Structure formats: C-alpha cells, structure tokens
Amino acid sequence: MFTLLVLQKCLNRLCAIVAGKLVGKEIMYQQSTLWEYSEVLEEEVSQQQAKGEPLSLPDGDILIYKNLFSSTESSTFFTNLLNDVNWQQDYIKLYGKSIPLPRLTAWYGDGDKSYTYSGIKMKPKSWTPTLLEIKSRIEKLAEMRFNSVLLNLYRNGKDSVAWHSDDELELGQNPPIGSVSFGGSRRFSLRHKHRKDLKIIDIDLTNGSFLLMKGATQHYWQHQIPKTAKIVQPRINLTFRVIF
Ligand SMILES: O=C(O)CCC(=O)C(=O)O
Ligand SMILES: [Mn+2]
C-alpha cells in the first residue's frame, strides 16, 4: 500500500517536472520539485513511524516501530553505548549459590530512583548525552516521560534474559516500558501467563527498532530473549521505565 502510494507520488512528480520543462522553467523548477518531493517522502516515512505497528494480542497493548533509528544512527549509538556505559556483571542468588546473569547490565536515571530487580538493588548512574538523546526520541512517540533505563548487553547467542514480566512494585500499576535495540537482531518472545490456548508470539527486535509495551501487558504477558545457537552480533537493549 505504502509502495503504491510512493509510486503514485513519483509519477505525479515526473509529470510535474515534464510540465515544468514545457513551460521553460527547467532547472529551477526541477530542483525545487525534487527537493519538495524528498520532503514529502520523509514526511510520509516519519508519519508511518509515528504510528507504529500494533501487535495483535489480547490483554496487551504493544506497538513496534521497526526502523525508528536509521542504520547510521544505530551504529553510532551502538558504539557510543558499548564504549561509554558502565557495564557490570551482576549475580543472582539461587539455592545459596551466586550465579552470573547471562548478560551485562547497567542502570541510569534520575538521581533518586533506585530499582530492585531479581534481588539486585541498582543505584542509577547519571544520564549521558547519548541516553538523553535516545530518551527524547522515544518520548515524542510514547507521549510520556521516562525517568530511568535498564541497559542489557548481549555479547553473543549464549547471553539471554529468562521469562519474566516487568512488574516490580516501583514501576506502578500499568508500567509503560520503552525498549530500544541496537546491534544484532534477537528473537523476543511473549507468552500469556494464564491462557494456555494462546501460542507464543515471536518477533525479531532488529537494529534501530523501538518496542512500546503499555497498559495491562505486564499483568498478562511474560517476555524473554532466548539463547540461540546461531552466530549473532552483539546487541544492546535499553528498556526505559518510570520508577515511582
Ligand atoms: O533485551 C530485550 O529486548 C529485553 C530486555 C528485558 O526484558 C528487560 O531488561 O527487562
Ligand atoms: Mn523485561
């Protein structure tokens, strides 16, 4: 549909250029027409992105914006985050044993918003310019403000996050979660907590994508990033949150 619309616009513009030539305004008209045309295209693409694609699932409210960040922006953000973020290896206690999380993590946000997750209390580091830039881009689409972000670095296919919901008390009643991904694609799976008749939903979270989970999603659905035997590029995921 979108491709047809673009083709139609191209045809209209081509006719306009030919008509412009016929009345003798060739170069000037052609240049300004092409300029306007690229503006129209950009506008259409950004309108598409501004909507996001809803995921069709009961008891949840999830939007995916597949290419919110261009590939150039995404590789710059990936490199900056990889180098500048204070990545940590955290451990969880299981049957009295200390087990390393299968990924590196970091927590940034407004000064007073600490967060307890899998028994690990995280005190936020101060926002960096890169994080603030990413945050402001997604806040425009989500039409809300986030005050903290949990970052995950998946170094290879062995790194993962197990089934869980982002439903800790400090996230409030219906937590909005804004999830941005840079680097290698990874599968993101969703499963309903009670409805065994519903199949697991798998989506690929690709470089530069933005996934927004809202409303009752965390009450009814769990999500995971499973391990994979495939060779995958390192991936950085940022989940922006509101801590009360
Ligand atoms: O890496 C992802 O896409 C998901 C991360 C996640 O679910 C979390 O940090 O709570
Ligand atoms: Mn999560």
Question: Is the pLDDT score of 35 beyond 90?
Answer: no
3-state secondary structure 106-120: EEEECCCCCEEECCE
Q: How far apart are CA 138 and CA 213, in angstroms?
A: 12
Confidence of residue 22 (pLDDT cuts 50, 70, 90): very low
CA of 166 to the centre of ligand 2 (A): 5
Least confident of 36-45, 54-63, 196-205, 232-241: 36-45
**Once rounded to an integer, what is the mean pLDDT over residues 209-218?**
98
Ligand 1: nearest atom to the Cα of 166: 10
186: Cβ contacts below 8 Å, ≥ 6 apart: 154, 204, 205, 225, 228, 232, 235
Kindly identify the ligand whose nearest atom is closest to the C-alpha of 182: 1
Q: Above 90 in pLDDT, residue 94?
A: no
Per-residue pLDDT, 212 = 98
CB neighbour burial string for 60-99, b if at least 16 within 10 angstroms, e if fewer? bebbbbbebbeeebbeebbebbeeebebeebeeeeeeeee
Nearest 10 degrees: Cα torsion 121, 160, 212, 109? 30
Report CA-CA distances (Å) from 211 to 107, 125, 180.
19, 24, 6
pLDDT tens digits for range 113-163: 777 876 777 789 999 999 999 999 999 999 999 999 999 999 999 999 999
Query: Is the pLDDT at 201 greater than 60, yes or no?
Result: yes
End-to-end CA separation in angstroms for the chain: 42
β strands within 25-157, DSSP E: 53-54, 61-65, 91-94, 97-100, 104-109, 115-117, 120-122, 148-154
Tokens 């659905």 correspond to: 221
DSSP character string of 160-187: -EEEE----GGG-SS--EEEEEEES-EE
Pair type for strands 97-100 and 91-94 = antiparallel
pLDDT band at 42 (very low <50, low <70, confident <90, very high): low
Answer yes or no: is the C-beta of 225 below 6 A from any ligand 1 atom: yes
- How far, in Å, is the centroid of ligand 1 from the Cα of 6? 35
- Taking the CA of residue 188 as reference, the ligand 1 atom at the shortest distance is 3
Upper half-sphere CA count for residue 9 (Cβ side, 13 Å) = 17
pLDDT at 33 over 60: no
Residue 15 CB neighbour total at 10 angstroms: 10
| Phi and psi based region of residue 73 (left: phi greater than 0; alpha: psi -120 to 50; beta: remaining) | alpha
pLDDT at 16 over 90: no
Query: What is the pLDDT confidence band of residue 10, given thresholds at 50, 70 and 90?
Result: very low
As a whole-number percent, the residues of the chain with pLDDT over 90 amount to: 72
Residue 179 Cβ inside 6 Å of ligand 1? The answer reads yes
223 Cβ inside 6 Å of ligand 1: yes
147 membership: H or E segment, kind and range: none
150 C-beta closer than 6 A to ligand 1: yes
Q: Does ligand 1 have an atom closer than 6 angstroms to the CB of 218?
A: no
Rg (CA), the chain: 22
